Amino acid sequence: MSEPIVLISSYTPRLCGIATFCEEAREFIQKHNPDREVLVISHTDGEGEGVFPLIDMTRRKWWKPVAAKLDELHPYAVHIEHEYGLYEYYDDRGQGDYNEGFIDLLDSIGDWPTIVEPHTVHGRMRDEEMDFVYKICHSADVVLFKCHYQKWRLDWTFPGHGWKTPRNIMIVPHGARPDRRFALHEVPQLRHDLGLDAATGNGHLAEHLVGLIGWIQSNKRWDILTSMWEEIAEEIQQRTGQDWDLLAAGAMRDPNHRADYERYREDVMRLQKKGLAHYYEFIPRGDNYYKMMAICDFIVLPSTDETQSGTLARIIALNKPYITTAPLEGLTAQTIESGGGLLFTNKKMLREAVLRLAWEEDLRLDLGTRLEHYLDEVVSWDVVAEQYNQAYTLACEAKKTGRPVELPKEF
């Protein structure tokens, strides 16, 4: 077996979007590199074959065991998934180091071809974020941004500080599974699998469903739609003669969001008592996550802070029409690029978008077709895994020649 590809990331069973992302990425990286092992160095709660749970964030020098393990594994490439919260060390005063240890890790593994994939790169960064992005671009061979705007925005923010814009940034979008598409005739069986074909409190779930699906967090703002759903459902019924229900399904992940979770859930339960909605508690992971979205006619994703979204990746994987907030970083960028969703900036626009998708079946079909093409051609994990391989090749070449990777600017 050739030298391994080593991923550094949080990993399952941790209830973490990056952990789930890494699990899917690993599957497809392995598929596209059958002659190499794809291993994972994770936080201490990671588990599984080929997983080394070494990252202990209670230790200031957490990165040292990671660097030592890489020396032992002798990797072909080191691919690091980054999110600020994953690598923040807090001292006994509760003071964070703003990922200083992460930069120490990069500096300590400089002998290996290194790729960093940051999952949060805001278009308008705070000073600390700019400093961090500058440092990872300086220390890593290749840095992977999810969206084009994140790269071309640096041509504004960095020169404004007198800094040279990095040239080792490659755009690789958030991957989406190409193997989770369900046909319309499969929906009754999916409802049965999820236990949603049985009677609810006020009768059966309606044939047509609008979905609020995923982790229930403060920034996901379910209340925007639930506050006006009763009026919307009535207008849809008057216009089409069809009954539509709101399916709100998910679970709380962060205890800090409990107050909003309880408020959002209460709103849905109030609608459920009127026979207009149904609340379904489940951990949004694995096949059930896809099945839950698949039984909906379209999805509403009213987020107020996203640079990229695992929820949207699943919506795209299902070719499911959707509505989301704008202007909002990666959500807006992918909606414009794919042409597969509608955008709203206020409650009036959201209401009109929901009514349009409920009234116009042809529009739903058109948006779904656009998402099908976008998935196949742009964000399928099969496409993304090949882009990862290109990044690995660039990083290896940089190490062999001593010449840094230099990629074209966006504009």
| Stretch 330-353: mean pLDDT | 97
Q: What is the pLDDT of residue 200?
A: 47
- What's the fold here for domain 184-379? Rossmann fold (3.40.50)
Q: Sign of the C-alpha dihedral, residues 195, 197, 201, 207?
A: positive
Instruction: Flag the least confident range among 30-34, 199-203, 320-324, 391-395.
Output: 199-203
- Averaged over 382-411, what is the pLDDT? 97
* pLDDT level of residue 308 (50, 70, 90 thresholds): confident
The two three-digit tokens of residue 393, written as one number: 């090749």
This prediction's pTM: 0.96
Mean pLDDT, residues 212-231 taken together: 96
Q: Is the pLDDT of residue 212 over 80?
A: yes
**Interatomic CA distance for residues 403 and 257, integer angstroms:** 47
Give 42's strand partners: 53
What would the mean pLDDT of 102-123 be, rounded to a whole number? Answer: 97
**What dihedral do alpha carbons 130, 132, 134, 135 form, nearest 10°?**
160
Q: CB-hemisphere CA count at 13 Å for 27?
A: 15
**Tell me: the pLDDT tens digits for 86-106?**
999 999 999 999 999 999 999
The pLDDT value given to residue 11: 98
- Mean pLDDT over 326-343 rounds to 97
Q: What is the DSSP letter of 377?
A: I
> If you search the block for the tokens 């609008």, which residue do you land on?
210
pLDDT of residue 132: 98
Burial of 193 (0-12, 13-18, 19+ CB in 10 A): middle
Q: Where are the domains of the chain?
A: 2-175+381-401, 184-379
Residue 202 has pLDDT above 60, yes or no: no
Average pLDDT, the chain: 96
For residue 199, what pLDDT is reported?
Answer: 44
- Report the pLDDT averaged over residues 156-178: 96
DSSP 183: -
Give the per-residue pLDDT at 309: 85
Residue 204, pLDDT > 90, answer no
Q: What pLDDT shows up at residue 110?
A: 96
Per the model's pLDDT, the better-predicted residue between 309 and 382 turns out to be: 382
CATH fold of 2-175+381-401 reads Rossmann fold (3.40.50)
Sheet with 114-118, side-by-side order of all strands: 51-55, 36-43, 2-8, 77-82, 114-118, 142-145, 169-171
203 has pLDDT over 70: no
Name the amino acid, one letter, at 82. Answer: H
| pLDDT one-digit tens code per residue, 61-71 | 999 999 999 99
What DSSP letter does each residue of 61-122 carry, written as one string? TTHHHHHHHHHHH--SEEEEEE-GGGG--B-TTS-B-TTHHHHHHHHHTTTS-EEEEES---
What percent of the chain has a predicted confidence (pLDDT) above 90?
A: 96
- The percent of residues above 70 in pLDDT, for the chain, comes to 98
pLDDT band at 198, cuts 50/70/90? low
The C-alpha atoms of residue 55 and residue 23 are separated, in whole angstroms, by 17
**Three-state secondary structure call for residue 173:** coil
pLDDT at 306: 85
∠ Cα 288 388 404 (to 5°): 150
Secondary structure letter of residue 220 according to DSSP: G
